[in-house]
Structure 1
Amino acid sequence: MNTTQNPVPFEAHRDRRNTMIDRSVASRRGVLLSLGALGLGALGLALTSCSSTTGVNAGATGSPTASGSPDASASVAPSGSASATPTAAPSGSASASPSATPSSGSTQAPGNPVPTPRPWDGPQTGLVGEGKYVAWTVDDGANPDVVRAYAEFARRTGTRLTFFINGQYPSFEQHRELLLPLVKSGQLQIANHTYSHAALTKLSDEQIVRELTRNDEEIQRLFGVSSKPYFRPPYGYYDARVLAAAASCGFTRPVLWYGSLADSSNIPSQEVLRFAKEYVDAQRIIIGHLNYPGVISVMDEIKGLMDRKGLTTVTIRDYYG
């Protein structure tokens, strides 16, 4: 099988997102939908990652979920059923693990501020329950300078981050030595965003499995850990079939978002900061991107915003186990 079928080039991500910004529409609140055992378990406003964006003030809010095409505006997912329940999945086997037996990590990682894992009840757009936590998640990996800047920022400030990476990018191998100590300590979670950023609703079940497992194999090779059971569907596009195929290979916990830094295109630093001020808040999953340098000069300001609001950064694994 051609494992790179239907790849979406990085330039196409940018072009599609810019097109969708021009189609800015009124903001929409997510609704609680039943998707069988994998029902959407949180309400939320969200920004679509990496390309299409529905919008307010050219920034856009809407729920990132199922769509038949990468060109469609994001909307809430259709109800349906999945064949597997969201439970922890076993780690896969490593292909040339760099230093350790692959593992899925632990909620007891040093520095984890969450004393007890919270219950997982379906695709998450936020952090369930009450609290003063925030999950800063970062996707893709096209720009090695941004990857390095996030790693250096995390090491310097102690900020806990979740990277949803595409293994096709060389940025992670290039900066592996900088990233690896953060991964080993649990401060940085490496999660699965597919190998080539393909729209999963457009792939066969076999291709969905291959996109996720190939990416997990690359993560294991680089960092000695498995990304299971967490994954983020590119563009936020999924449906019951996608969830069932992902669950069949151990990816039972799809992670969405509630607010974006909007830096999947090359916007100025002050625009990135403006979106952070709009969306960073307690119990939210915020999405950024490892693609353009606009975020680099405002990382400390974003962290300062979180500190002023009394928020504690957590990885997705910190919070949900």
Structure 2
Amino acid sequence: MKRLLCALSVLIVLVPTITYAALPNRPIHWGFKKSVNEEPPYAGAEYDEVLAKYGAVYKGDPDKKIMYLTFDSGYENGQMPKILKVLKKEKVPATFFVTGHFLLSQPELARQIVDEGHIIGNHSWHHPDFTRVSDERVREELNKVKIKTKEITGQKKMKYLRPPRGVFSERTMQIAKEEGYTHIFWSLAFVDWNVNSQKGWQYSYNNIMKQAHPGAIILLHSVSKDNADALEQAIKDLKDRGYKFKNLDHLMKKK
């Protein structure tokens, strides 16, 4: 019996412990071929495989004219009140992926987002490249946003994550999954975040309408004046094309 116990002890010691270091941490930068003629874009087999492995999404049902409007809100640039006014007027739900800076500097707007029926998602506290920080730092970045959002708005759950900078790895996706998050990428986007290079509402409008497709997850940055000015007309014209807008909970129920 003693020999058997000793042998088992050796086996237990020799069995390797699975750690996140065993998962690939190669940075993946989200990207895809843009939609043309309302055909849903394709990110490629490699991306599709990784996303499926961790339950992530970047588009909805390609056969239904439903769209999902999302905003990345790292900070406030005076455009959010107009955006929220348009969404309320048009009865369109949205998800706002916020950072710690937004929550600390704009608690009233954060409350308004939730009070008006929108969802707040996690965009990390400091907006770091998750692939360059420790496991513990990733968890801390996510938890701080979740806790502060609940404290400010009363939103009980935080289920959706948009990785800062659009950079991720299998390691960071696994950590986020264990924290209860679903990665939400996007299938419609354009260069809109540079507040020093705004091009007018027509630029935003044209990009939205040109890339529109069934199941689109639209990414807009809420700091963009172009987006704020174009949003109402884009929503109205998309509705005229037969599109409806739903929130991310609707999308995930279909999965």
Tell me if structure 1 keeps the 8 A contact 2:67–2:215: yes
Tell me if structure 2 keeps the 8 A contact 1:197–1:234: yes
Q: Which residue of 2 aligns with 1:179?
A: 113
Normalised by the size of structure 2, how large is the TM-score? 0.75
Q: Distance in 2 between matches of 1:238 and 1:177?
A: 29
- Amino acid in structure 2 at the alignment position of 1:311: Y
Tell me if structure 1 keeps the 8 A contact 2:72–2:222: yes
Q: Which residue of 1 aligns with 2:222?
A: 290
Q: Which residue of 1 aligns with 2:194?
A: 265
Q: Distance in 2 between matches of 1:167 and 1:227?
A: 17
- Which of 199, 212, 232 is the aligned partner of 2:129? 199
Residues 229 and 179 of structure 1: CA distance in aligned 2, closer, same or farther (over 3 Å): closer
Q: Which residue of 2 aligns with 1:256?
A: 185
Q: Structure 1 residue 220: deviation in Å?
A: 0.8
Q: Which residue of 2 aligns with 1:301?
A: 233
Deviations 1:205-257 (A, max 9, x none): 11111111111111111221245321011122111100111122222x10100
Tell me if structure 2 keeps the 8 A contact 1:135–1:316: yes
- Which of 48, 60, 67 is the aligned partner of 1:127? 60
Q: Which residue of 2 aligns with 1:156?
A: 89
| Relative contact order higher in (CA < 8 Å, ≥ 6 apart) | 2
Mapping of 1:1-321 within 5 angstroms? 29-33=42-46, 39-41=50-52, 122-128=55-61, 130-169=63-102, 170-183=104-117, 188-251=118-181, 253-266=182-195, 267-268=198-199, 269-321=201-253
SS in 2 for 1:216: helix
Q: Percent identity?
A: 18
Q: Unpaired runs of 5+ in structure 2? A: 1-32, 35-40
Tell me if structure 1 keeps the 8 A contact 2:69–2:217: yes
Deviations 1:123-166 (A, max 9, x none): 21101353110011100242252221221111211011111111
Which structure would you say has the larger Rg? 2
Q: Structure 1 residue 198: deviation in Å?
A: 1.2
| Alignment: residue pair count | 212
Tell me if structure 2 keeps the 8 A contact 1:147–1:171: no
Moved over 6 A (4+): none
Higher helix share: 2
Q: Unpaired runs of 5+ in structure 1? A: 1-25, 42-80, 87-121
Residues 262 and 175 of structure 1: CA distance in aligned 2, closer, same or farther (over 3 Å): same
Deviations 1:172-214 (A, max 9, x none): 313245334213xxxx111111112111111111111111111
SS in 1 for 2:45: coil
SS in 1 for 2:78: helix
Q: Distance in 1 between matches of 2:48 and 2:244?
A: 31
Q: Which residue of 1 aligns with 2:15?
A: none
Residues 135 and 301 of structure 1: CA distance in aligned 2, closer, same or farther (over 3 Å): same
Q: Which residue of 2 aligns with 1:47?
A: none
Normalised by the size of structure 1, how large is the TM-score? 0.60
- Amino acid in structure 1 at the alignment position of 2:116: L
CA RMSD for the aligned pairs? 2.4
